[in-house]
Structure 1
Amino acid sequence: MAVLSRVLRLRVAGVDRFAVRSFRSSSSSWRNSEIDPKAAAASQQLGEKALPLQRDVKDRNVQWVFLGCPGVGKGTYASKLSTLLGVPHIATGDLVRDELSSSGPLAKQLEEVVNQGKLVSDEIIINLLSKRLEASSAKGETGFILDGFPRTIRQAEILEGVTEIDLVINLKLREEALLAKCLGRRICSECGGNYNVASIDIKAEEGDPGMYMAPLLPPPLCTSKLISRSDDTEEVVKRRLRIYNEMSQPVEEFYRSRGKLLEFDLPGGIPESWPKLLRALNLEDHDDKESAAA
């Protein structure tokens, strides 16, 4: 992933990218990738090792992407899959918030963008992602589950140019539930835990199924320390949803045309959705089954 993180930055700067041989993933067939000789020579001139960005599936973990509107639950499900599969969960939203709280050189610029409900530029996101990938590589981690990236066609093309994404999971949730979830998000100012105080109970009508999503309440010690994110206001959330919907269609089609997009409509909260998502991914959570049987 160290090579990947460096190449991400080089690609944005206009340097020749690694050419990765396209392959299709299935339960039984994979093909190895190659390095374009010219790109390898360019990378060596820049001090890069001429290593393949892709390895056989036996040598690396999954490389998945989560798509979905803000507040849909990408972080929750990506985190659970990260634990289940033993791969790092990399959420670009968290990277942005960490930078905001660091008082670093980008903090002021990011604060203005986030508070206005705008999307952070490709260059900033890729810079933050590259740093995170380098940190993962230093710890010997392989594979990843990306949450919040790519959001634009340009980002998708950059990512495809340097590594192979095995699967893109597109989470969907009706807008009224999305809005309620976003406005109900809370963070513990002491431990950093994420919770949601919204209790969503949508009645079935005119052929549309009902939906219930229980609140994700904090433990007693965190109750008095809950705060809302500064960008979780109704005006900003609606603007974020509108911007996302406008930009998401081309990205979804980008991966759909490559046969990598899995559309998943969330039927409710975690208890209802998690088992169905696992079935859609042909996975089993043995710990979850043991907990249910206990």
Structure 2
Amino acid sequence: MTTEPSGRRARGAACLVVALGVYLGAAIGCLPAEEPAPPGAVPAEPVGAAAARLSPAADAPQAERTPPAPAERRREREAMVRVIRDVYGLRDEAVLAAMAAVPRHEFVPPAYAAQAYADHPLPTAHGQTISQPYIVAEMTRQLRLRGGENVLEVGTGSGYQAAVLTHFTTHVYTIEIIRPLADSAAQRLKRLGYGTVQVRCGDGLAGWPETAPFDAIMVTFTVDEVPPALLGQLKPGGRMVVPVAGTDGMEWLTVVEKAASGEVQTRRILPVRFVPMLREDPSRR
């Protein structure tokens, strides 16, 4: 495995992007920039009817306000996409279209619905978060999906990222370590019309051997190194996007590319902050 560090110019640009995001988030009253989803390590098992047993305490409290009309939510979504395009400079039209199509407010707890399209992460349940919209868009862009690929997401969370991925392919598989999150995400995705997404509860770092190899893999929590099992399930010519903790004390969004020869190269994209990897399901304690 060879590592290709980013140059000073790229690193400076990345830091500027993050600084802009922090500035905008502060301007609209955001939470700390703590990034996305879950998983960790328990035996894999299919997601089923356990969603019906979810306790109301697992979700944020209901906000006592009249929900915005669909047209208003659409305008908020369009404004979110403009920030991604004009502030961050992300110009991939397919990614922007996917972000504009998915109703993000359906994937956040009711208490945070009013902030659904703000440019910062939001808490969900069990100490997890839904990622900042720009980060969702950038990670999707880095996979370079063209349509029809076999894609694995590790860290389902609310299911939002998986829903975005369905706008590129119907072959989306996602793994979540926390049983209540996996069940609620599966239920939510089906209700919203993203029923092609296959959700599994289990050890995300073990991947999904039965449906491997994958053209693209996305990990939505921080790891200390590129997970070997996931690398083994990545096709030659495939790409993985994963937050990796660096020896410099920072976390870096990292792109992993596997050549047709099997040679692997990694490249840092920008500094990020994600939730840490979980080794067990906290809902079972």
TM over 0.5, yes or no? Answer: no
Q: TM-score range by the shorter chain?
A: under 0.3
TM-score of the pair, normalised by structure 2: 0.27
More strand by share: 2
TM-score of the pair, normalised by structure 1: 0.26
Q: Tell which structure's C-alpha radius of gyration is larger.
A: 1
More helix by share: 1
Q: Which has the higher contact order (CA 8 A, sep 6+)?
A: 2
